[in-house]
A and B are shown apart, each in its own frame.
Chain A
Amino acid sequence: MKVIRTHDLSKTYNHLVVPVKALVNVNLEISEGEFTAIVGPSGSGKTTLLNMLGGLDQPTSGKIFIDDTEITGMKESRLIDFRLRNIGFVFQSYNLIPVLTAIENVSFIMLLQNYPKDKMEKRARELLEQVGLADKADVRPQKLSGGQQQRVAVARALASNPRFVLADEPTANLDTQSAFNLLDIMLRLNREENITLLFSTHDQRVIDRARRVITLVDGSIVEDQHFEK
């Protein structure tokens, strides 16, 4: 089943001195349960593509479908709600809420979703356990290492039971061991829970583990490789 489909997706930034084509006619399909890395040099359009797929930015032309719902042109208030229920985000800088503990950060998404309160804490603890941080549930982000914060961010991304998770350079700020730990967890979640994961990355460690690698150059897909792993 196709979770993401794009049709001739283009994005041009016109507010710069010279208009910049960030994406040019990108046609892409991501199936359920895929573990995909989007790679390419800086400025190739990786982050722009992820922003489009996450409904954070609107394309200049083209369409995006999540399952069968077209999100291009959707009103912001509907889009926020759509993101909340369908898309998980993992950011390069973790972006946890600094004043909330690990478990509160994970529960936060469920609170926004009006998840039943009696089940919320149980699910948040389960998610923290899945990322190996059950013992850090009541710790605030500044007391956690970078790798631990990113694992909390993964747990948070999964809290809403999203259709897919978008991760923008998730290992860029992590040391080797933390990056491997994070990748192991994400791979396990992908295999065991059939969670669809889409990364933008420069990191060879991520690329080596991905089952599909899409290469972008100057806003266009130049290579789309599938691997059996």
Chain B
Amino acid sequence: MKILVTLAWRNLWRSKRRTMITIASVFFAVALAINAQSFQQGSYELMIDNMVRFSTGYLQIQDVLYEEEPSMDNSLLVSDSLLISVRPFLKRIAYTVPRIQSFALASTEAATRGAMVTGIDPETENRFNSLPEQVVEGRYLAASDHAVLVAEGLAGLLKTRVGDTLVLIGQGYQGSMAAGKYPVKGIVRLRIPELNNNAVYMPLSAAQDFYGAENRLTSLIVMPADPGDADRLTEDLSAAVDSNWYVVRSWKYLLQDLLSLMEFDTASNMVIIYILYIVIAFGIFGTILSMMIERNAEFAMLISLGMKRRRLAMVCLLESLFISFTGAIAGAVLALPVVAWYHHHPIPLKGDLAEMILQYGFEPVLPFSADPKIFLTQALIVFVMAVIIGFYPVYKIFRMKTVERSNR
């Protein structure tokens, strides 16, 4: 075996340029594929993170009927039975974010607009989505306040400022009238334009009073101690709560439209990556083919001398393995600093593209994912592809006729 390895290794370096070109082909394939995948997955991770942190949370407990008809009548009661069923999982839960929300009309002296009035626990909301950091005017809410935060866009539409009074009118629990006057304590600038144009926040207890829904929530967001545990925690909580009244939804369920969109996008990006693979595969095949043509006579001579075809095939396969392995490892290693840099320093977007992404409610940046699976998968795919191409010389060796070749 040693002589086969020696032969393979030295053969690689008899045509340094060809070997380097082949290694470079594998290297670029791996590096490009890793960067492309990392870029795509990074964008998705950011999207999901944004949505989970600012919108749905990792999982939510809702009333069973809420999804079908999201109204105050289908809000959930924070009952003793619910608390008892959740208690065994407290160690796996970092914190919960209670919310009660419905639409109402918001009026000032100047204008009236539809608004999404959300009752929040100011402390946990801060932990959940750093809402106080979004306050651009006035101050953040305290749990005991009887006041509201108005999103900057809506404040503009209503021509209201901190210290003004906002009148809210809507429908409360079981058809009751929800109405109240609330001083504007602060203005918040929300990243998602749709929210920025209709959000009104008030402390949870004030909102429950407003909607006449004491001790009720429209959703209880649960943040797991380990985000990776979200799926299992969803399953466990689903099994624990009274399914006649409560349902536990994971972020994957709540964001299924977004995930479907991502899957479609992934599929179209994969087509581009497959094209890249094909181009690279032909590059590698070209160099392997030129190597075969150059060494046909030598292979025939070796068989004539008494070298078994399988041993000769092994030499060629070892050469392919060396090239593929070196290229794949080099590609993965050299992609690492690029990916790491853009993972920590996402590419900021500007102009129309940034505006468009903002419209979707996402940060206008392009981060890279540093998921080790991407490195492993892409390096492995290109490596396997190169090894498969490396079987071409093996095939040719087993079909080679020695007479025409060895007499040269």
Contacts and interface: CB of A to CB of B under 8 A. Distances in A.
A160 B306 CA distance: 10
Nearest to A169: B407
B326 interface: no
A211 to B, nearest CB: 25
A184 interface: no
Contact of A99 (B11, B304, B311, B402): B11
B302 A97 contact: yes
B162 interface: no
Interface residues of B, number: 24
B306 A84 contact: yes
A109 B306 contact: yes
A89 B408 contact: no
A100 B304 contact: no
B297 interface: yes
Contacts of A93: 297, 408
Nearest to B310: A77
A99 B297 contact: no
Given A91-B407, A99-B14, A56 B304 contact: yes
Interface in A86-123: 89, 91-93, 95, 97-100, 108-109, 111-113
B308 A108 contact: no
A57 interface: yes
A91 B7 CA distance: 21
Nearest to B9: A99
Nearest to A93: B408
A85 B3 CA distance: 19
Nearest to B401: A57
A47 B407 contact: yes
- Most A CB within 10 A of own CB, among B10, B11, B402, B407: B407
Nearest to A142: B14
A81 interface: yes
A83 B305 CA distance: 7
Nearest to B13: A99
Chain B: interface secondary structure?
Answer: helix
Contacts of A100: 6-7, 10
A168 B306 contact: no
A219 interface: no
Contact of A168 (B7, B11, B407): B407
A91 B3 CA distance: 23
A91 B298 contact: no
Interface in B1-58: 3, 6-7, 10-11, 13-14
Contacts of B94: none
Contacts of A113: 306
A95 B296 CA distance: 12
Interface in B194-240: none
A168 to B, nearest CB: 7
B301 interface: yes
A80 interface: yes
A205 to B, nearest CB: 21
Given A56-B406, A93-B408, A99 B305 contact: no
Contact of B304 (A54, A108, A111): A54
Contact of A91 (B10, B403, B406): B406
A51 interface: yes
Contacts of B347: none
Contact of A83 (B7, B13, B304, B403): B304
Contact of A81 (B3, B7, B306): B306
B307 interface: yes
B97 interface: no
B8 to A, nearest CB: 9
B400 to A, nearest CB: 11
Contact of B308 (A56, A80, A111, A156): A80
Nearest to A111: B3
A186 B6 CA distance: 31
A38 B408 CA distance: 18
B339 interface: no
Given A97-B298, A99-B11, A57 B307 contact: no
Contact of B3 (A57, A98, A108, A156): A108
B303 interface: yes
Contact of B10 (A56, A57, A95, A99): A99
Nearest to A87: B306
A95 B297 CA distance: 8
A119 to B, nearest CB: 16
Nearest to A95: B301
Interface in A48-83: 51, 54, 56-57, 77, 80-81, 83
Given A91-B301, A91-B407, A95-B298, A112 B10 contact: no
Contact of B306 (A47, A51, A80, A95): A80
A56 B305 contact: no
A80 B403 CA distance: 13
Contact of A77 (B3, B308, B406): B308
Contacts of A92: 407
A14 to B, nearest CB: 15
Interface in B285-309: 297-298, 301-309
B403 A57 contact: yes
Contacts of A160: 306
Given A108-B3, A168-B407, 14 more contacts: A47-B407, A56-B406, A57-B403, A77-B308, A80-B309, A81-B308, A91-B407, A95-B298, A95-B301, A95-B406, A100-B6, A100-B10, A156-B305, A160-B306
A-B pairs, top 5 by smallest CB distance, nearest first, are: A84-B306, A99-B10, A95-B301, A57-B403, A83-B306
